[in-house]
Structure 1
């Protein structure tokens, strides 16, 4: 396949602007550059309506973690109001979302559009995590932080109007890495039983090299030099790249993990490891769907104002989450 015309136009625009690579800026300036770029592009968006948005914090081991909670707006169904104990049919499912940005960049605002769309598409409450960024917050702190927020969501589900037996996790890019790592922790620690996982072009192998990292590592938005910098900011030691919580693909056991949707993009350096992770889950007996988007580049789902495929992929994720939640509800009857 060839690049989608919209992706080609986007890359040509980036080249014309001549913006410096993230790894040349340092964390503070890179974050500012990414935030301003997203704000400029997102100005073209009409916000997706949801029932309510609320900013809160969760006390985790090393910091107060900001979260943003979205409640869906559904025809004929208002946001649940307490008390819930005697009316479980009024409870929504809940999805914990972890944003991308190479562990170094990204924030709640930059993923507001994606979370709103996923909230509506999945008919679920979304809890978006503003985890600590590297190099200030290094591995494994963000993994533990996100795991703590998942546990918080389960404990406070009823207060949020959510059904604690229908909780899923999702993340894109580095957030997909953290989401996959959290599923390993939840299984191995006897933590929350997660209903489903949606991994959007995840980075799941910080150690190995792949053909797509070489072939797509220059000129397709996510640059190889930036990826190397992200990893060096995130990992305290190169040897940590072999840790399954840093590279979930390298975990010795992938059995008994939540069913998954793994989304990849054809011209993404992370394509091959996402595809490999889907295959590894399948071989371990985990129900998994792998959907590759031809002609697309890394991050396309967070740029819905530009990529129709990004909007379609979020709708797909929402549909699969609804199916999983409906199945969980039926199993509980």
Structure 2
């Protein structure tokens, strides 16, 4: 039976997602579209949903030029493989602290160092500031990995939502420039198309009016991030070309306005000869992996990512 929250979608919302949306609708806070960025940044990722950082993972701060980083190191002897992680939040929201629970879980489960990137946010720093910071962070990580017990020869990138956009773009640039070598890219519910034509996707029609990530919310993020820039220039789906890109693991949520974008990017990579594993999680909402205290599928998705990274790091 279709959910009352997404009546245009013929499938079913997972009971965990249905319960969360029912609770949020009862609280009836102001929609994102009427909030200022500073208002929206307050409590963007509730710690009660995200859980606590892993205590067996050591975390320290660093700087890549002026770009703040947090380096999460798993227990055990190094040198460890390294994952550069770009957080979500529509290029407007999100902090290193809010994403520390996920990054420490990734470090522990995949047995790798996770370098989380505090790129500049819009509207204070619109496109292409975030992309520039992402590239600086990747270059810094490759050159400095040995200084924090990392192995620069085993390097991967990952990101969720807007961060998936950045991970895809830096993987493209690394391929084009020939360095650093990126072994794998992990894209979680990625926002791969910021062009005006993206709204024609079926997932926009099914989930665009919903209470989670809506078309109205995406327009708010897009307006702050792009300012007067062309959305195609910020879109991996519009930019991807040629051979030689790293293999990809792409996770999408069935009940997500961006689901078709993740699927389209996976299909596009395959046409270019890139090995791709794409998994869609039934009944799940956008970025469900961030909330293990709410969604049981979050741990399964994390395990899928960890196994993909372990295989990539084990290859010669």
Query: What band does the TM-score fall into relative to the shorter chain?
Result: over 0.9
Quote how far apart the aligned CAs of 1:189 are.
Answer: 2.3
Secondary structure of the corresponding residue to residue 109 of structure 1: coil
Does the CA-based 8 Å contact 1:220-1:298 persist in structure 2?
Answer: no
Secondary structure of the corresponding residue to residue 99 of structure 2: helix
Q: Which residue of 1 aligns with 2:140?
A: 152
Alignment of 1:68-79 (within 5 A): 68-73=70-75, 77-78=76-77
Quote how far apart the aligned CAs of 1:65 are.
Answer: 1.6
CA RMSD between the two structures:
1.3
Provide Cα deviations, 1:177-228, integer angstroms capped at 9, x if missing partner.
Answer: 0111111111222231100000000000011221101211122510111100
Q: Which residue of 2 aligns with 1:65?
A: 67
Q: Which residue of 1 aligns with 2:235?
A: 247
Alignment of 1:107-122 (within 5 A): 107-122=95-110
Q: 2:204, 2:237 → 1: CA distance?
A: 16
Provide Cα deviations, 1:233-263, integer angstroms capped at 9, x if missing partner.
Answer: 111325x1111xx111012514211100000
Q: Which residue of 1 aligns with 2:260?
A: 272
Q: Which residue of 2 aligns with 1:165?
A: 153
Which of 5, 8, 12 is matched with 2:18 structurally?
8
Q: Which residue of 2 aligns with 1:230?
A: 221
Q: 1:175, 1:159 → 2: CA distance?
A: 25
Q: TM-score, normalised by structure 2?
A: 0.93
Does the CA-based 8 Å contact 1:39-1:110 persist in structure 2?
Answer: yes
Quote how far apart the aligned CAs of 1:162 are.
Answer: 1.1
Q: Which residue of 2 aligns with 1:48?
A: 54
Quote how far apart the aligned CAs of 1:324 are.
Answer: 0.5
Provide Cα deviations, 1:127-157, integer angstroms capped at 9, x if missing partner.
Answer: 0011111011111111011111000001101
Q: 2:149, 2:43 → 1: CA distance?
A: 37
Q: 2:22, 2:240 → 1: CA distance?
A: 42
Does the CA-based 8 Å contact 1:267-1:298 persist in structure 2?
Answer: yes
Q: Which residue of 1 aligns with 2:27?
A: 17
Q: 2:55, 2:314 → 1: CA distance?
A: 23
Q: Which residue of 2 aligns with 1:86?
A: none
Secondary structure of the corresponding residue to residue 296 of structure 1: strand
Alignment of 1:202-221 (within 5 A): 202-207=190-195, 208-209=198-199, 210-221=201-212
Which of 290, 301, 316 is matched with 1:313 structurally?
301
Provide Cα deviations, 1:266-294, integer angstroms capped at 9, x if missing partner.
Answer: 00000001000000001100000000000
Q: TM-score, normalised by structure 1?
A: 0.88
Decide whether aligned partners of structure 1 residues 252 and 71 sit closer, same or farther in structure 2, where only a CA change above 3 A counts. Answer: closer
Q: 2:160, 2:70 → 1: CA distance?
A: 16
Q: 1:204, 1:219 → 2: CA distance?
A: 20
Does the CA-based 8 Å contact 2:59-2:72 persist in structure 1?
Answer: yes
Q: 2:57, 2:249 → 1: CA distance?
A: 26
Provide Cα deviations, 1:95-120, integer angstroms capped at 9, x if missing partner.
Answer: 00000000001111111111111111
Quote how far apart the aligned CAs of 1:49 are.
Answer: 3.0
In structure 2, list runs of 5 or more residues that go unmatched: 1-10
In structure 1, list runs of 5 or more residues that go unmatched: 81-90
Secondary structure of the corresponding residue to residue 19 of structure 1: coil
User: Which aligned runs of 4 or more in structure 1 are off by greater than 6 angstroms?
Assistant: none
Q: Which residue of 1 aligns with 2:36?
A: 26
The count of residues paired between Structure 1 and Structure 2 equals: 303
Does the CA-based 8 Å contact 1:135-1:233 persist in structure 2?
Answer: yes
